[in-house]
Each structure stands twice: as C-alpha cells, then as structure tokens.
Chains A and B, each alone.
Chain A
Amino acid sequence: MTFRRWLVLGVVAVTAPLGDTLLSMGMTRVGPVSLHHLSSLIYALKTPQILLGIVLLIGFFSSYLASLSWADLTFVLPASSIGNVIVALLARFWKHEHISPMRWLGILLITAAVGFVARGPSYTEIPKPHEALEAETR
C-alpha cells in the first residue's frame, strides 16, 4: 500500500459519514415521506443539505471504486470505518459536543479494527481462469 492509496482510503472514510450526516439533516427538514407519495423523494433533491450530501457521496463513490480496484472489499470497509471516529472527534473538539463513555468505547473498537486490517494484506490474489488451467496442467 502506497501513501497515495492510504490517502484515497482517507477520502472514502471522511466523505461517507459527512455525506450521510448532511442527508439526514436534509431529510429532517423535508419531513416524513409517504409510500403513496414517493415522488416527494425527488423534490427532496432541491434541499441544499441533500445536494451537498450527494456531492460528498459522489466523491466517496469515485474513491471507493478506485480503492476496490486494488484492495479487497473486506479490507476497504473496515479500514475506511475510521471516518466515523474522525467525525465523532470533530464533533467533540470542534463543536464541543459531549461524547458518552459508550461512544468512546465505540471509537476505541473501530480504531482497533482499523489497526487489525491495516496490518494484514490488502488484496487477495485470485488466479484468472486461464492461469488456473495452466497451473493445473503444469
């Protein structure tokens, strides 16, 4: 793993929780959506928080795709979960929000998980069908 690839994983980590937070803020403004009026989900796209959330989620998606082209899904997902920790720490030290002991424990568990996967290999080499056939005939 190069520094640049860790940076891409960092973008995956930060944009996803920030985008989700903006979406939830936007949906709180829009209010309940009925099953009979699903078209109101389209009108929800006019809310600034939802639009900004979607822009961040597009950034997340493109870096997520790039990371999946050189790392396993079971490596990318836990490694990028550090974003939840970053958002919680921002809330604590920037917005001075209170973080309960349970949340600190959650932060500790996620950080430990990231440490676990980061020390292992990032990609499972799976031989392509013709390579597997060659290996068998050898």
Chain B
Amino acid sequence: MNPLSFHHAWADAAMIGAIVVFATIGDVMIASAMRAIGDLDEIKARRGLFGAILAVLGSSRFLFGVFFMALSFFSLLFALSHADLSLVAPASASLTFVTNAIAAKFFLHENVDRRRWIAAVLVCAGVTLMAL
C-alpha cells in the first residue's frame, strides 16, 4: 500500500468513525429522552399536538441528542463530499446498528436478547452486502 492510499484509508476510517460515534450518542440520548417523556400518542391525546411538541422540546436530554445527531449529519455531508457513497453510507449505517445495540444494553438497560443481537448483526451484514 503506498503512503497516499494508506493516508486515504485512515481519513475514510476517521470520517466513518466520527459519524458512527456521534450518531450513537445522539440515538441513545434521544431514545432515553423519549422513554422519560412517555408515550407521545397519549400526551397528544391529553394535551394536543402543541403540548406533545412542547414536552419533547422541553427535554434537555433530547436537545443534546439532536446536537449530536446534527454533528453526525454534517460529518456525513462532509464525508460524502470526500469519499464514495458506496463506502461511507453502508459502513456508517451498518456499524451504527452494532454500536447502538451495545449502547442500548448498557445505557438504556434495554433487554437486548439473543433475538435482537442476531437481528443487529444480520442488518449490519445485509446493509454491507447491499452496497457491494
């Protein structure tokens, strides 16, 4: 491998890593906020659409989650302008499935049983194969 392609490979890995880390933090914080807020359908039935929007926007955890999702989004836009879509999109999407499953188990205390692990790995492999 020549030094230039080695440098490119590291740059691609760093961009994909940034997208995955920001997306995982964002997903977990938003999921945690929505769990704390409760069923949006019930809130909407009690307080109307505006009440449901206020309940979501009033959560600081949600806003931090959106901040990290925005970081992930701009990292994706940046990466798409430098690397191939066929590399960046499937690599970041498939890795995010696995990192989300790990983070959901430890931070959200979700019951990630064998069925969900298998599903996460199958989706990860499936998304990668679809990009080939």
Report whether over half of chain B's contact residues are helix, strand or loop; otherwise say mixed: helix
B128 to A106, Cβ gap below 8 A? yes
Please indicate the chain A residues that have their CB under 8 angstroms from the CB of B13 in the complex. Answer: none
Please indicate the chain A residues that have their CB under 8 angstroms from the CB of B112 in the complex. Answer: 74
Alpha-carbon distance A103/B82, docked complex (angstroms): 25
Given A69-B40, A78-B97, A119-B115, decide whether A113 and B126 contact each other with a Cβ distance below 8 A: yes
Given A41-B77, A74-B112, decide whether A109 and B101 contact each other with a Cβ distance below 8 A: no
Please indicate the chain A residues that have their CB under 8 angstroms from the CB of B130 in the complex. Answer: 84, 88, 102-103, 106-107, 110
Q: Is B104 an interface residue (CB 8 A)?
A: yes
Q: Is A70 an interface residue (CB 8 A)?
A: yes
B56 to A81, Cβ gap below 8 A? no
| Contact partner, B101, options A32, A41, A74, A105, Cβ 8 Å | A74
A110 to B122, Cβ gap below 8 A? yes
B126 to A106, Cβ gap below 8 A? yes
Report whether over half of chain A's contact residues are helix, strand or loop; otherwise say mixed: helix
| Contact partner, B81, options A27, A70, A77, A113, Cβ 8 Å | A27
Interface residues of B in 68-85 (CB under 8 A from A): 74, 76-78, 80-82, 85
B101 to chain A, nearest CB (A): 5
A120 to B116, Cβ gap below 8 A? yes
A34 to chain B, nearest CB (A): 9
B81 to A78, Cβ gap below 8 A? no
Q: Is B120 an interface residue (CB 8 A)?
A: yes
Alpha-carbon distance A7/B77, docked complex (angstroms): 29
We find that the number of chain A residues with CB closer than 8 angstroms to chain B is 45
A73 to B74, Cβ gap below 8 A? no
Which 4 interchain pairs have the tightest Cβ spacing? A106-B129, A109-B126, A106-B130, A113-B122
Interface residues of A in 105-135 (CB under 8 A from B): 105-110, 112-114, 116-117, 119-121, 124, 126
Please indicate the chain B residues that have their CB under 8 angstroms from the CB of A74 in the complex. Answer: 100-101, 104-105, 110, 112, 116, 119-120
Q: Report B114-132 CB contacts with A as 1/0, cut-off 8 Å.
A: 0110111011011111111
| Contacts A33-B78, A116-B122 known; 17 new A-B pairs at CB < 8 A | A24-B85, A33-B82, A41-B78, A73-B27, A74-B104, A74-B119, A77-B100, A103-B129, A103-B132, A105-B129, A106-B128, A109-B125, A110-B127, A112-B122, A116-B116, A120-B116, A124-B111
| Contact partner, B119, options A24, A70, A113, Cβ 8 Å | A113
Please indicate the chain B residues that have their CB under 8 angstroms from the CB of A44 in the complex. Answer: 77
14 pairs, A vs B, C-beta closer than 8 Å: A23-B76, A24-B80, A27-B80, A35-B78, A68-B35, A70-B40, A84-B127, A105-B129, A106-B127, A106-B129, A106-B130, A107-B130, A109-B125, A117-B119
